């Protein structure tokens, strides 16, 4: 057998005392702490990287990493091409799972629920905040479709750069119709804290009624075995 390097996870504990009735405050706190730690210590690269699983019409799963560029009590969200594989799968089956993992902090959050498309205003605002080259790139890439060569993509980018030159304004590149975002309307949120000897803490919030991440009185909390 290959030699294995093993680490013990010495994360902070997570317990039921003082836990909020709804998951929002703790989700917000953990995300803020991961971002702050990356700014200060640099050991949480891309703290917003979130693995997103979807399933196709035959219930086969697929998984990819995106950036969580939306986080509100409504749920975590991301932006993407609306004709990409993930978006097409979500349009026929909105069930979704998404996981944030911060390995250096021995923490993870798992979200499960259904995906809903973000409204156009929210998408427009986010699109305008992206760097010019990324906005041009959104037009250039028919994400998830085959591409004959890298050169073809670069040629398309060069043409689009001429069409919409960088003026320093956030509306110099229009929002493509086929670009948007999704938010996860969560039914289950698991907070995972890695502890010594693999005896981790796992606390699950399960939604039992209507509401979002911040609605008190609709979330049941349960501890799971590690």
Ligand X SMILES: Cc1cc2nc3c(=O)[nH]c(=O)nc-3n(C[C@H](O)[C@H](O)[C@H](O)COP(=O)(O)O)c2cc1C
Phi-psi region of 152 (alpha: psi -120 to 50; beta: other; left: phi over 0): alpha
Q: Which is nearer to ligand X, 25 or 178 (CB)?
A: 178
Over the window 117 to 146, marking each residue x when it contacts ligand X by CB under 6 A and - when it does not, the resulting string is --------------------------xx--
Q: Which is nearer to ligand X, 35 or 206 (CB)?
A: 35
| Residue 198 bears catalytic tag | yes
Distance CA 46, CA 28 (A): 16
| Helix locations, the chain, DSSP H | 24-41, 85-92, 120-129, 132-140, 150-163
Q: Per rule CB under 6 A, is residue 78 in the interface with ligand X?
A: yes
Whole-number minimum distance, CB 85 to ligand X, in Å?
A: 4
Distance CA 180, CA 7 (A): 40
Q: Which is nearer to ligand X, 86 or 207 (CB)?
A: 86
Sign of the four-CA dihedral 172, 173, 177, 182: negative
Residues near ligand X (CB under 6 A): 46, 49, 62, 64-67, 78-80, 84-86, 143-144
- Catalytic center residues: 198
């Amino acid at each position: 057998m290959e030699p294995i390097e093993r680490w013990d996870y010495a994360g902070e504990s997570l317990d039921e005392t003082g836990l909020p009735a709804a998951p929002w405050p703790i989700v917000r706190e953990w995300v803020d702490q991961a971002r702050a730690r990356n700014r200060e210590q640099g050991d949480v690269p891309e703290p917003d990287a979130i693995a997103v699983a979807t399933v196709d019409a035959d219930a086969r799963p697929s998984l990819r990493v995106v950036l969580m560029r939306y986080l509100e009590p409504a749920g975590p969200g991301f932006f993407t091409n609306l004709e990409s594989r993930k978006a097409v799968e979500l349009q026929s089956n909105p069930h979704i799972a998404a996981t944030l993992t911060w390995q250096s902090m021995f923490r993870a959050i798992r979200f499960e629920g259904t995906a809903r498309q973000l409204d156009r205003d929210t998408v427009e605002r986010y699109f305008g905040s992206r760097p010019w080259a990324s906005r041009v790139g959104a037009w250039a890439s028919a994400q998830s479709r085959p591409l004959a060569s890298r050169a073809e993509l670069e040629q398309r980018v060069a043409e689009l750069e001429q069409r919409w030159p960088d003026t320093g304004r956030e509306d110099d590149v229009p929002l493509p119709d086929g670009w948007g975002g999704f938010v996860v309307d969560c039914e289950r949120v698991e907070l995972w804290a890695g502890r010594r000897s693999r005896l981790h803490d796992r606390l699950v919030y399960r939604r039992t009624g209507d509401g979002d991440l911040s609605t008190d009185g609709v979330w049941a909390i349960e501890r799971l075995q590690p």
